């Protein structure tokens, strides 16, 4: 009689080097925060970096490819609903954890995490590893990022309220000026700059990541100056990790079984699960710096932790999906199917 397969933790989990760089930036801000004139310079540089990021996002997104992807509108609509409807509802349900499990600032960050768009690169990478619908994952991630430029600040204004660290009409104007206008400028100028972007893709990738590191440094420096880190204890951080683990498990389960109930095939279900269950660090960090001001350091902490958690778990699931027989039906298993070792390093994700 064969022995039952036991749940096993993979011997090697992917640790994103970029997350390590983010944590190092947080440590630098804790030890050497920007103060006085240096803080003014850092804030100005971070504002310019955010505008540059969203200009590059707009310039890279092919409008024609996005329109062509609308032919698979049911899949994209499903991902958008998971990202901007199901996740916010889960975030609102977590309000009952305040104040006994989560402090109000940490809950504000958790709710903000539920409002940011999906990832692009890591969704594509994991869908490819699992032999899913890669073109659908590309379009779904792009649509989610595009919709998030508008929906994330609007949802933040509607749902965060006092948890938003001072969200106001002025913050919405800043979102438009710093995010939406540069994005639209990138779209308008794409025909002239796309060739340059393609030729210098690697160098511009460092610009992307360096800009986000600058945003994180400015945000955490402001948090240190405001003394917000005195509100966090190791027990609260442990509770936050547990809450986020449950949130990710619920999202992975809903996207997988929900896509199956909607009649999607194997490849589409894989794309929906990876694109609909993950959150973008690259899009969320700049938005948080605009929305939360001095409270951005606590607001982005849940997103940073969730980002690394989703990479580790989804890497295991992707390898497990890749082991399915070609042309066969996926077994009806949920998140508990994570049992195969992962032989892959970190996958940076937006």
pLDDT per position as a tens digit, 185-221: 888 888 898 888 888 888 887 787 787 788 778 877 7
Q: What is the pLDDT of residues 43-102, one digit of tens each?
A: 788 778 878 877 887 787 676 665 655 677 899 999 999 999 999 999 999 999 998 999
User: Looking at residue 93, what is its pLDDT?
Assistant: 95
SS3 category, 344: coil
Going from the C-alpha of 165 to that of each of 160, 222, 263, the distances in angstroms are 9, 13, 42
Rounded Cα–Cα distance for residues 12 and 342 (Å): 6
* Mean pLDDT score, 286-293: 77
Nearest to 193 by CA among 55, 16, 9, 17: 55
Q: What is the pLDDT of residues 150-181, one digit of tens each?
A: 888 888 888 886 444 445 566 667 667 777 78
Residue 187 CA to chain centroid, in angstroms?
22
Least confident interval from 9-13, 18-22, 32-36, 271-275 = 9-13
Of the pLDDT bands very low, low, confident and very high (cuts 50, 70, 90), residue 334 is very low
Token pair, residue 349, equals 């994700």
* Mean pLDDT score, 275-297: 80
134-137 long-range contacts (CB < 8 A, ≥24 apart) are: 134/271, 135/69, 136/69, 136/72, 136/75, 136/76, 136/267, 136/268, 136/271, 136/275, 137/271, 137/274, 137/275
Of the pLDDT bands very low, low, confident and very high (cuts 50, 70, 90), residue 346 is very low
| Domains, the chain, ordered by start | 17-32+39-321 (1.20.1530.20)
Position with higher pLDDT, 149 vs 330? 149
Cα-Cα-Cα-Cα torsion 199, 200, 205, 210, nearest 10 degrees, comes to -170
Mean pLDDT (the chain, rounded): 78
């Amino acid at each position: 009689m064969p022995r039952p397969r036991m749940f096993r933790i993979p011997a090697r989990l992917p640790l994103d080097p970029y997350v390590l760089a983010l944590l190092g930036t947080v440590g630098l801000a804790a030890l050497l925060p920007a103060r006085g004139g240096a803080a003014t310079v850092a804030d100005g540089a971070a504002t310019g970096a955010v505008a540059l990021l969203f200009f590059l996002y707009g310039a890279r997104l092919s409008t024609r490819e996005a329109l062509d992807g609308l032919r698979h509108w049911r899949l994209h609509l499903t991902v958008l609903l998971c990202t901007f409807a199901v996740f916010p509802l889960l975030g609102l349900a977590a309000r009952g954890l305040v104040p006994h499990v989560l402090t109000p600032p940490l809950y504000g960050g958790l709710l903000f995490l539920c409002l940011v768009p999906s990832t692009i690169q890591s969704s594509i990478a994991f869908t490819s590893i699992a032999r899913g619908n890669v073109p659908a994952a590309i379009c779904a991630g792009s649509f989610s990022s595009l919709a998030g430029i508008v929906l994330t600040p609007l949802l933040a204004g509607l749902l965060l309220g006092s948890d938003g660290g001072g969200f106001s009409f002025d913050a919405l104007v800043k979102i438009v000026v710093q995010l939406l206008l540069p994005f639209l400028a990138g779209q308008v100028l794409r025909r002239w700059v796309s060739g340059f972007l393609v030729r210098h893709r690697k160098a511009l990738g460092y610009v992307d990541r360096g800009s986000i590191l600058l945003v994180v440094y400015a945000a955490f420096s402001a948090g240190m100056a405001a003394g917000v880190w005195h509100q966090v204890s190791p027990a609260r951080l442990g509770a936050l990790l547990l809450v986020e683990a449950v949130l990710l498990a619920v999202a992975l389960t809903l996207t997988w079984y929900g896509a199956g109930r909607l009649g999607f095939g194997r490849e589409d279900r894989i794309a929906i699960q990876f694109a609909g269950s993950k959150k973008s660090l690259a899009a969320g960090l700049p938005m948080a710096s605009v929305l939360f001001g001095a409270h951005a350091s606590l607001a982005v902490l849940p997103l940073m932790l969730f980002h690394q958690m989703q990479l580790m778990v989804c890497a295991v699931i992707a390898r497990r999906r890749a082991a399915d027989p070609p042309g066969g039906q996926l077994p009806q298993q949920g998140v508990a199917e994570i049992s195969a070792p992962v032989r892959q390093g970190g996958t940076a994700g937006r």
